[in-house]
Amino acid sequence: MLVLRNINKTFHVKNGMVKALQDVSLSLSGGEFLVIRGPSGCGKTTLLLVAGCLLKPGGGQVLLNGMDPYNLDMDHVNRLRSETIGFVFQQFHLIPYLSARDNISSPALASGNPVMPGRVDELIRHFGLEERAGHLPHQLSTGERQRTALARALYNDPGIILADEPTGNLDEENAEILYKYLRQFAADGGSVLLVSHDRRACDYGTRVIGMSQGRLQRSTGSYVGAGSG
């Protein structure tokens, strides 16, 4: 579903250049939960933005369902991204003046498509938000906010979830809940690409790749440790 070939990305800064990505290649298929783990500043978020059709690489090729999004016009890129990819971020990025219910359906509002109430209700039930659906983000716990954000990411029934440090603001219990939701999404045939410095993420991935200074390191299998229960 997602292929990156020899991706490079360089940023020009005041004192020179930063090579954020250096010849990065990977593939992500249905049923995979790929964890890319590395320290802050190693290029993880840049990689996720390139994979998510949000940041054009300086070199290399991205293929999403066989198409290079960076060769498409903006309307086609936006449509491909919204139909294929759901995003989950550390800071949730919920719209503060919308209820949890309306945040979940916000992808429809943003695209001008009619809201599907049945889909919203399904997601609210799935993530245990029935009692909180009418609440604003500041009235939700951090775990509820992240579950709302994940429900929003799933609203359009994407094949891929891209997650950037999604447990960075969560306690251990809520982090485990989120990881299990993502693992189930992959088990049901979806694809997850998660970048994090959190060691616990490795317990849930079907594959783990280290990252350092813009380069990918070795790949290993997972499903070991506490997260495998």
Angle at the Cα of 156 (from 203 to 169), degrees rounded to 5? 40
| CA diameter of the chain | 53
The arithmetic mean of pLDDT across residues 10-38, rounded, is: 93
Number of domains forming the structure of the chain: 1
> Over 90: is that where the pLDDT of 3 sits?
yes
Residue-range definition of the domain harbouring residue 102: 2-228
Instruction: Give me the CATH number covering residue 212.
Output: 3.40.50.300
Which of the two residues, 108 and 51, has the higher pLDDT score?
Answer: 51
Q: Which tens digit of pLDDT belongs to each residue from 140-165?
A: 999 999 999 999 999 999 999 999 99
Residue 224's pLDDT is what? 37
Two structure tokens written together for 200: 């616990």
Is 47:24 a contact under the CB 8 Å cutoff?
A: yes
Mean pLDDT estimate for the chain:
91
User: Alpha carbon 200 to chain centroid distance?
Assistant: 17
Beta strands in the chain (DSSP E): 2-13, 16-28, 33-37, 59-64, 85-89, 160-164, 191-196, 207-212, 215-221
Q: Which tens digit of pLDDT belongs to each residue from 180-225?
A: 999 999 999 999 999 998 888 999 999 999 999 999 986 655 443 3
pTM of the model: 0.90
DSSP code per residue over 47-64: HHHHHTTSS--SEEEEEE
